[in-house]
A and B are shown apart, each in its own frame.
Chain A
Amino acid sequence: MNRKRTEVTTSRTGFPTVLWVPAVLGLALVVLPIVGLVVRTDFRDFPALITSSSALNALRLSLQTAAAATVLCLLLACPLAVVLARSRIPGIRLLRSIVLLPLVLPPVVGGLALLYLLGRNGFLGYLLDVTGGVRVPFSSAAVVLAQTFVSFPFLVVSLEGALRTAGERYEQVAATLGARPWTVFRRVTVPLLLPALGSGLVLCFARALGEFGATITFAGSLEGVTRTLPLEVYTLADSDVDSAVALSLLLIVVAVLVIGIARPRAWEGYR
């Protein structure tokens, strides 16, 4: 620490000191509720509360569906990001805004929209039911779909940003060296995207893990089938507050872990 003091620091022309007041208030808004939750937590029974069978069911389901949603995001978002960043077709800007829709839409609206697409009265849901006997709503698959819907814009945005920052220069050089488009994609585009892909996937996973609104409207809250951790917390909040608080703390721990992994690149910019 002594060495730090001898290093050169930028002079203090930065910002008005008075900004500290709202800044501290803002920080308090984030930190104090969590402190409140920690204070309220019954740490003696904590292990028992988070290992009850319903809690374990919810945790297992949450991890499985969030992982499946993340994989689905990877398969859908990566090609979409490349198309959005590199294609020059007219209307690409409109497409780019449409992709952001789930990011700004209330999740409950997204869930409702999914329900009226894939529900028994929805046109795709009706088609699936009649032709294959497949009913999507109120199944684990519905949970995965709801989570994918809300989280995949995160991956598209971070990948597209990375693609735009990197520019096409490396890809052009690769082409002059004789690499066909597929080789360029495999050996240049994807490797250069890996850092953004990593942090984007972690963000996706986190968003899927915390999904509530779209899930409860589209998939319902059936224990072991569609009741993920956030839904379990919501269910317990009235009847068993201690359990709800303990599970909430569990979700916070997971969130902190996710920030720890993803933060360096996703929040602090590239290079």
Chain B
Amino acid sequence: MSRADVAGGNSVLDADIRLERDAFELDVRLSAAEGEVLAILGPNGSGKSTVLGCLAGLLRARRARITLGDRVLADERDHVPPHDRGIGLLAQQPLLFPHLSAAHNVAFGPRSKGAGRAEAGRIARHWLSEVDAAELADRRPAQLSGGQAQRVALARALAGEPELLLLDEPFAALDVDAAPALRTLVGTVLRTGAHRAAVLVTHDPLDALVLADRVLVLQRGQVVERGPTRDVLAKPRTGFTARIAGLNLIRGTACEAGVRAPDGTVIAGIAAGELAEGTPAVAVFAPSAVAVQLDGVEHRASPRNTFAAEVATLEPYGPVIRLRATASRNGPGCVDGVSAELTPSAVAELALHPGTPVRLVIKAAQVAVHPC
């Protein structure tokens, strides 16, 4: 891990956290620059929520040094309690206080920090409208859907005007209809909010792709990869990252069939939520959804997503071979970098090698179209 992978001298958040619990050992160094979103990716039990707990001050590590701006939040002697840290936390569950209305939930932070009743109410209304939940102000948490509750929880986390925003799997408990909308909303908030840095914990690479500038991959308490999101996810170096990432994504604008790439190619797919035509969107699909055919050979079926390309590289990935394609002279440019998974026997049968002209067939049903 070279020093350059970590945010340089302009970092707002710096943390060096070490703790041991039973057989589990955690050793994480992380930083985030001004305005940056850092994603912590990792499987269950990798320690990512523990890191977030330490940043929030809910957990106290044996050895930790955490600085936010010019404030020391934790070091060998001191441990600033959560309420003095200037953080906002959005967890997997909305955890809205059940005895308070949505507006009073959002006003809780400002009230706790000394704002008067009227002032806190004004702040609450402002943040509720920021998350498109103004009409929910008087509802009790029990009367809200999962997505609505999470929007109110987001407003509540933001209303305290935190310096550091912590997001712990914020979309994991939402149903498939609500998650994309909230992801878009969080994306907007992360770009426009007054916070100085944000840390997102997730096991879904899509969250990192859409929201984070840099990622850090955690495995059994150790950092195994880190760097700019696209680099890490496009060229995974560890098994875990390869399994969860290595996802293909083609950016463009939403259209009726799916996503229209900048070169005009349409990738048919299934929209994972409400998408207005012409808005920025990304088509995401796994390498296993890409079939490879030899160019020039006739096939009976003609799926919508059939694109000409050339083989760039072939690399073993556990039991399969991962093929990375590059644009061919007569094919669309957007397929550059798309990867496919093949069995070694298929590679031998098709006599594939770098430079072979191929056709990539992508099953439209396995292409998810997300707003971005």
A residues bordering B, Cβ < 8 Å?
169-170, 172-181, 183, 187-188, 191-192, 194
Contact = CB atoms under 8 A, between A and B. Distances in A.
The A interface is mostly helix, strand or loop, or mixed, namely helix
A187 B120 CA distance: 15
Interface of B: 56-58, 81-89, 91, 93, 95, 97-99, 108-109, 112-113, 156-157, 160, 166
A175 B56 CA distance: 9
Nearest to A168: B58
A136 to B, nearest CB: 40
Contact of A172 (B58, B108, B156): B58
Given A173-B89, A183-B112, A187-B108, A178 B95 contact: no
A176 to B, nearest CB: 4
Interface centre among B89, B93, B112, B166 (most CB of A within 10 A): B112
Contacts of A169: 91, 93, 95
Contacts of B93: 169
B62 to A, nearest CB: 16
A176 B82 contact: yes
Given A174-B112, A176-B88, A181-B83, 5 more contacts: A170-B95, A176-B157, A177-B108, A178-B113, A178-B160
- Across the A-B interface, give the 4 residue pairs with the lowest CB-CB distance, nearest first: A179-B112, A177-B109, A175-B82, A176-B89
A188 B97 contact: yes
B45 to A, nearest CB: 20
Given A183-B112, A187-B108, A176 B87 contact: yes
A91 B156 CA distance: 38
A119 to B, nearest CB: 46
Nearest to B99: A191
Contact of B99 (A173, A181, A183, A192): A192
A163 to B, nearest CB: 15
A173 B99 CA distance: 14
A23 B160 CA distance: 57
A175 B166 CA distance: 14
Given A172-B58, A173-B89, A187-B108, A178 B83 contact: yes
Contacts of A170: 95, 97
A183 B91 CA distance: 21
A174 B108 contact: yes
B81 A175 contact: yes
B128 to A, nearest CB: 15
B90 to A, nearest CB: 10
10 contacts: A169-B91, A170-B95, A177-B88, A178-B109, A179-B108, A179-B112, A183-B112, A191-B97, A192-B99, A194-B99
Contacts of B58: 172, 175-176
